[in-house]
Amino acid sequence: MLTVENLHKSFGGVNAINGIDLEFGEGTLTAVIGPNGAGKTSFFNLITGAFAPDRGRILLGTDDIAGLSSPDIVKRGIGRAFQIASIFPSLTVRETILGAVNTHRGWHTKLRRRFPLGEANAQADEVLELVGLTAKAEKLSGNLSHGDQKLLDIALALALEPRVLLLDEPTAGMGPEERWQMIDTVHKLWQRKRMTLIFIEHDMDIVFKYAQTIRVLSYGTVLAEGTSEEIRNHPKVIEAYLGTAYEKGRG
Amino acid sequence: MRSTVWLDIVIAVAAMAVLLLLPLVFPGKAFSDFMIRLSAFAIFATSLNLLVGYTGLVSFGHGLFYGLGAYSFALMMQKLGTSIPVAFVATVGVSAVVATVVGAICIRLKEIYFSFLTLAFQMLLHSIIIAWTPLTGGDQGLTGGVPRPPFLGIRLDDPQHLYIFCCAVLVVSLFIMWHLVRSPFGYTMRMIRDNPRRAEFLGVHVWRVRLLAFVVAGVFGSVGGLLMSLFVSSAYPDFAYWTVSGEAVFMILMGGISVFFGPLVGAVMLLLLNDVVTRVTEHYSLMLGIIILCFALGLRKGLLGFVLWAWARRRATAN
């Protein structure tokens, strides 16, 4: 589904991404982990066209999307949610989702018909129901709680019916209980939609519980990849990221 | 959905009927002159608010289109002797082309750089008007008047007809812009205003939407200038001077940036202030500056924005 070959990106003298080769199968749930500065968000930025790679290919199916603009990449089926919820504060929750649906269907530059388009409403309702925001549909997005804003950010990406969904730290800034609720919601979404889901996460309990496969980045390269069990016991990962304390804690 | 469109049409027709009846209540020429100036400025300020309030593009040079509309129309009528409808449509066409070119350059820049570049283009037009004396009359403006031949039984050299025509253009322009901001495109504009980066990650080509908004705003801005040139039967370099853009910004600020009809209310307020304050003191600019300062510090939502906010708050409290 999504294949990254020999990806490079540097900013000035810093090699943020330094020759990454990765493959993400269709319908899989993958966690990308690594210490701060490992290049995780840069990796997402390259896939979604926020930056053009210096070298390398990003294949969505057989289509090379490396260097395309973000809107063009989105239209090919890659959706994204951000570490800090990226929403439209002055729009209501419903308007926000309808805006995304309109964009997905190519209706966003229609000048003549009134908003919302009737056809878009049903899809918006479905998305709101999926993330559990139906009751807050008429609230201003900017007035939502932090957790709901994160959900709305994910809902925006879902409204695009993506083939690949990238979630950058979906539980960032949440309390322990809220974290598990959020990741549970994300997991249910994945089970229901069966898109290829890749998420960046620092909470290793969440990662080990939910991810089918884990990719570990360090200094812009792939340090390790494998199942939860393999990563948990990988000496390089323990040394570079998990730390011996985590291993002892397990013991 | 269709019923809401019809409701809007009914409201527009009712508004037009009220405007037609108002001269019976205020029969003086001063009132009709005021309403004609109001039509020009309300269209102009509302069109600027499509950029400032709805798309997040703070243009300091929107007066470019006001001046362009006035001069294009007046020159076509004067030099080419075309009919008014043809000159109207051609003015809109010229403005659309200029807005496309200027917009394609300006919208690549962000924030203050965008603002200043639009201002630079406006002052470029102003300089051309001043320098190209054989065509534009230079700093004296176009001399000789703008011919207003009758069309479809409408005689715009008759003050009554001119009043009705300007009111009709005002209502139709506001109706179109109202529908535009309520269309999917209008919501895309608001998405871009709030968070252009996120809009891109939803598949919106932000610069295309901004350019389209710029062109639409430019076209309606030129219609405002066109009405003013019809009213004064000429066109003056001041129409393209930066203060015209400043006045439109003040109108938006005073009426309300976040409310569609805010600029209309702001235009009423500024024109009234202009007429009243200039009668009682020669320090018009000082008075206006103080009033603008009061709005900027104490009534940031603008008058209409504040009234609607207070009303919504009262309803919420009552519930």
Q: Domains in chain B, please, with CATH?
A: 29-318 (1.10.3470)
A173 and A216 in a single domain? The answer is yes
* Yes or no, beta carbons of A108 and B180 under 8 Å apart: no
Beta bridge partner(s), residue B151: B154
Q: Is B187's Cβ below 8 Å from some Cβ in A? A: yes
Q: Hey, of A46, A48, A78, A102, which one would you mutate to test binding to chain B, going by the most B CBs within 10 A of its CB?
A: A102
pLDDT at B245 over 90: yes
Residues A65 and A186 in one domain: yes
pLDDT band per the 50, 70, 90 thresholds, residue B225: very high
Beta strands across the sheet bearing A55-60: A14-24, A2-11, A55-60, A63-64
Claim to verify: residue A151 and residue A204 sit in the same structural domain: no
Query: Are A154 and A187 found together in one domain?
Result: no
CB contact under 8 A, B202 and A99: yes
Q: What integer pLDDT is reported at residue A245 of this predicted model?
A: 62
Q: Which residues from A are below 8 Å from B316, CB to CB?
A: none
The answer on A154 and A119 residing in a single domain is yes
Residues of B in contact with A115 (CB under 8 A): 182-184, 186-187
Of B184, B193, B198, the CB nearest to A108: B184
Distance CA B207, CA B197 (A): 11
Q: Does B195 touch chain A if contact means CB atoms closer than 8 Å?
A: yes
Q: Which residues does residue A221 pair with via DSSP β-bridges, in sequence order?
A: A218
**Do A147 and A196 sit in the same domain of this protein?**
no
Nearest CA in chain B to A105: B203
Confidence at residue B279, expressed as pLDDT on a 0 to 100 scale: 82
Residue A82 resides in a domain: no
pLDDT, residue A42, reads: 93
Position A124 in a domain: yes
pLDDT at B4: 74
Q: Taking a contact as any Cβ pair under 8 Å apart, which residues of chain A between 5 and 64 contact chain B?
A: 48
Best CA proximity match to B303, nearest among B277, B273, B279: B273
Judged against a pLDDT cut of 80, whether residue B67 lies above it is answered with yes
In a mutagenesis test of the B interface, which of A111, A141, A160 is the best target, namely the one with the most B β-carbons within 10 Å?
A: A111
A156 and B198: CB-CB below 8 Å? yes
Amino acid at B227: L
Is residue A12 domain-shared with residue A64, that is, in the same domain?
A: yes
Q: Does A87 touch chain B (CB under 8 A)?
A: yes
* Domain final residue, candidates A131, A161, A191: A161
Across chain B, mean pLDDT equals: 92
Structural domain includes residue A2? yes
pLDDT of B223 > 80? The answer is yes
Confidence of residue B1 (pLDDT cuts 50, 70, 90): very low
Q: How confident is the model at residue B64 (pLDDT cuts 50, 70, 90)?
A: very high
Pick from A161, A184, A208: which residue ends a domain? A161
Does one domain contain both A147 and A171? no
Classify residue A197: in a domain, yes or no: yes
- Alpha-carbon dihedral of residues A181, A185, A186, A191, nearest 10 degrees? 140
The shortest CB-CB distance from A71 to any of B4, B179, B205 is to B205
On whether residue A31 sits in a domain, the answer given is: yes
On whether both A135 and A220 belong to a single domain, the answer is no
* C-alpha–C-alpha distance, residues B311 and A197, integer Å: 46
The DSSP H or E segment spanning A72 is helix A70-75
pLDDT digits (tens, 9 = 90+) for B73-117: 999 999 898 999 999 999 999 999 999 999 999 998 888 999 999
* pLDDT tens per residue across span B125-153: 999 999 999 999 889 888 888 899 999 98
In-domain check, residue A66:
yes
Select from A105, A181, A107 the least CA-distant residue to A147: A181
Q: What is the mean pLDDT of each run of 10 residues along chain A (251 residues)?
A: 91 88 92 90 93 93 91 93 92 92 85 71 89 91 92 91 92 85 89 91 89 91 88 82 64 48
A138 contact B CB<8A: no
Residue B263 has pLDDT above 90, yes or no: yes
Instruction: Determine which helix (DSSP H) or strand (DSSP E) holds A15, and give its type and residue range.
Output: strand A14-24
* Token pair in block for residue B179: 């529908």
Q: Beta-carbon neighbour count of residue A127 at 10 Å?
A: 26
Q: Are the CB atoms for B256 and B306 separated by under 8 Å?
A: yes
Domain count, chain A: 2
Identify whether the C-beta of residue A130 lies closer than 8 Å to the C-beta of residue A158.
Answer: yes
DSSP A109: T
- Which of A80, A87, A118 lies closest to B1 in CB terms? A118
Q: What is the pLDDT of residue B3?
A: 54
Q: What does the block give as tokens for A166?
A: 């990238």
User: What CATH number corresponds to the domain at position A3?
Assistant: 3.40.50.300
Closest CA to A112 of B179, B47, B188: B179
Which residue from A minimizes the CA distance to B212? A109
Q: How far apart are CA A182 and CA A190, in angstroms?
A: 12
Give the whole-angstrom CA distance, residue B273 versus residue A208.
Answer: 68
Q: Identify the pLDDT of residue B92.
A: 97
> Mean of the pLDDT values across residues B190-210?
94
Question: What is the token pair recorded at B296?
Answer: 């900027």
Residue B203 distance to chain A (closest CA, Å): 4
Shared domain check, A67 and A121: no
- Give me the residues of B, 90-109, that contact A with CB < 8 A: none
Task: Look at B275 and A54; give whichever has higher pLDDT.
Answer: A54
Identify whether A12 is part of a domain. yes
Do A123 and A4 share a structural domain? no
A164 touches chain B (CB under 8 A): no
Q: Is B188 on the interface with A (CB under 8 A)?
A: yes
pLDDT of residue A249: 57
B265-274 residue pLDDT tens? 999 999 998 8
Q: Is the pLDDT of residue B237 over 90?
A: yes
Q: Please state the ipTM of this predicted complex.
A: 0.88
Same domain (yes/no): A168, A70: yes
Domain containing A228: what range? Answer: 1-77+162-251
In Å, the largest CA–CA distance within chain B is 66
Domain membership of residue A67 (yes or no) is: yes
Q: Give the mean pLDDT of B170-190.
A: 93
List, for residues B7-51, the tens digit of each pLDDT value.
Answer: 889 999 999 999 999 998 988 889 999 999 999 999 999 999 999
Q: Which of A112, A130, A161 represents a domain boundary (last residue)?
A: A161
Residue B55 touches chain A, beta carbons under 8 Å: no
